[in-house]
Structure 1
Amino acid sequence: MSDDLKISVLASSSSGNVTYIETPKHHVLVDAGMSGKKIKESLASVGKDINTIDSLFVTHEHSDHIKGVGVLARRYDLNVYANKKTWDAMMPKIGKVPEEKINVFEHNKVMTLDDLDIESFAVSHDAADPQFYKFYHNGKEFVILTDTGYVSERVQKTIENADGYLLECNHDVEMLRNGMYPWPLKQRILSEKGHLSNDDGAHTLMDVIGNNTKQIYLGHLSHENNTKKAAHTAVADILEDHDFGVEHDFSIHDTDPAIADPLMTL
């Protein structure tokens, strides 16, 4: 059996988010923003059986991250991890979860599940107490960071030089400004408690990419205010303009609302 850290972004967009992470001893999900049926099908599409999932880490209580949490916890006997304020905010939305499956994991902590270490860190978003995660196994690190209006120096230090990133590129600023959203919603998205734009995502990557970094996934794209091409082009162009070795030192991957990215070994 290989001793690798493997990942697949099963879905990432403003409508639903699920990421699969695998070590020899654990198969875990981060968020469950689709129906249980869709998550089962998405796992099957990358050759994985939902019955092997043992743990689910929740970032915050917005529906595109928790839609399937209750169903998965009840049907597949998963341990679910989130901080106290997130639990309080999402419990009315997900139905009953067996008490023994409710695990409180506060931000800026590190926990260990056998061969998998998980570090939580707080972000700035309009949710009760949003947090994201860095996963460690066998010398490899994978960071998930979406749903934040900005990236603090503390977060930068926490996530720098990871082997892989799933990083938010939510919107193209001009598409958002010229789009159909009402102005208060536009202001929320552009605020420090909103979402990273394509350019923000690129500049965050410039601050955190290191020699270990090999795989970058652009995530949480808005259906209305972004496209895969716009996000990919903006990030690649900005990094190349600053002499980063795009598609030489590391690869940039697009993510999709409905099609899982192939299982990747970091």
Structure 2
Amino acid sequence: MSLRYSILASGSTGNSLYVESDEHSFLVDAGFSGKQMEAFFQHIDRDISKLSGIFVTHEHSDHIKGIGVLARKYKLPVYANENTWRAMDRLVGDIPTEQKMIFSTESVKSFGATDIESFGVSHDAAEPMFYVFHHSGKKLVLITDTGYVSDRMKGIISNADAYIFESNHDVQMLRMGRYPWNVKRRILSDLGHVSNEDAAIAMSEVIGDNTKRVYLAHLSLDNNMKDLARMSVAQTLQSQGLIVGEGFDLYDTDPKVPTILTAV
């Protein structure tokens, strides 16, 4: 038995993760139209109607745009904490009450042999939370949309087999870019997004012997580039004594193209 995943898309324009076991399949966020989400599922040769549920991280549009459409069309349960439900209720449209599931922050839900653990992050949303998937001794972590990675978060996500880790922006690109100062200040704040360097420093404290894959996720369209993110993260990790290619590797994510289905 194994856990498999595809990062359907990741970036400032939209985000979605697919995870499956032999018994169940899950979607985390759906930051695209229903039509685009269906195209992603065709790309990885999977059936949306077979999902065991959609799990929501927070109510920002790049994470929930297609949730209402998918929930209604395929009669799927949607899991989110109470504050996120309140914040996104009017944004996702009518979803039948029996499909609205409460998943509290810092709790665990079990689906057969898969345990899904939620944990809080620091972001300017109602009650943002991300997820750790546990299955047959393997551990897959999704952590984006946080202004920093606290010691508490590090304890929860440490020594995962695979990470989907925010590497949102290059600080110099952001500072010199076209965004108004109030937006730059928000991104740089503790309620914003982590930079390439800050992400790598956090990674250096959680990567362990089990870690084989680290995906750089939620890259800003305007303030980052894949090559720059990979280089910055690799250099910072090296300064902390971790060499990419020695035990673990770095991988890109894309705002439009899913990664191949990969076993944890």
TM-score range, shorter chain: over 0.9
Q: What fraction of aligned residue pairs are identical, expressed as a percent?
A: 50
Structure 2 length-normalised TM: 0.98
Which residue identity lines up with residue 104 of structure 2 in the other structure? E
Q: CA deviation at 1:239?
A: 1.3
Q: State the alpha-carbon separation in 1 of the partners of residues 166 and 33 from structure 2.
A: 22
Which SS does the other structure have where 2:14 is aligned?
coil
Asked if 2 retains the 8 angstrom alpha-carbon contact of 1:60 and 1:128, the reply is yes
Q: CA offsets, 1:231-255, max 9 Å, x none?
A: 1111111112333131231111100
Distance, in Å, in 2 between the alignment partners of 1:216 and 1:74 is: 34
Q: Distance in 2 between matches of 1:62 and 1:255?
A: 20
Runs of 5+ consecutive residues of structure 2 not aligned to the other structure: none
The residue number in structure 1 matching 2:126 is 128
**Partner Cα distance (2:233, 2:241) in 1:** 12
Say yes or no: does 1:30 pair with 2:38.
Answer: no
153, 156, 160: which one aligns with 1:155: 153
CA-to-partner distance for each residue in 1:30-87, whole Å, 9 max, x for gaps? 0010111111111211221222222110000000000001011111111110000000
Q: 1:253 corresponds to which residue?
A: 251
| Contact 2:49/2:76, CA 8 A, preserved across alignment | no
1:213 and 2:232 are equivalent in the alignment: no
Q: 1:104 aligns with which of 88, 102, 105?
A: 102
Q: Deviations over 1:117-151 (max 9, x none)?
A: 01111111000010001011111110100000011
Q: Which residue number corresponds to residue 264 of structure 1?
A: 262
Letter in 2 for 1:84: E
Maintained 8 Å contact 1:11/1:17: yes
* Match of residue 199 from structure 2: 201
Given that 2:19 and 2:25 are in contact with CA atoms closer than 8 Å, whether structure 1 keeps it comes out as: yes
Secondary structure (helix, strand or coil) at the match of 2:194 reads coil
SS of 2:155's partner is helix
Indicate conservation of the 8 Å contact 1:117/1:137, yes or no: yes
**Which ranges in structure 1 are unaligned for 5 or more consecutive residues?**
none
Q: How many residues align?
A: 264
TM-score (norm 1): 0.98
Q: Which moved more, 1:55-64 or 1:41-50?
A: 41-50
Is the partner of 1:92 in helix, strand or coil? helix
Given that residues 116 and 134 in structure 2 are in contact (C-alpha distance below 8 angstroms), is that contact kept between their aligned partners in structure 1? yes
- Look up the SS of the partner of 1:132 in the other structure: strand
Q: SS at the partner of 1:24?
A: coil
**1:227 aligned partner, one-letter code:** M
- Aligned counterparts of 1:137 and 1:27: Cα–Cα separation in 2: 12
Contact 2:201 2:240 in 1 (8 A): no
Quote the RMSD (CA, aligned, Å). Answer: 0.8
Conserved 8 A contact 1:28-1:53: yes
* Alpha-carbon contact 1:135-1:142 (below 8 Å) kept: yes
Aligned residue number for residue 14 of structure 1: 12
Partners of 1:251 and 1:46 in 2: how far apart?
22
How far is 1:154 from its partner?
0.5
Q: Is the 8 A contact 1:143 1:164 kept in 2?
A: yes
4+ residue stretches of structure 1 with deviation over 6 A? none
- Partner of 2:61 in structure 1? 63
3-state SS of 1:233 partner: helix
Aligned to 1:184: 182
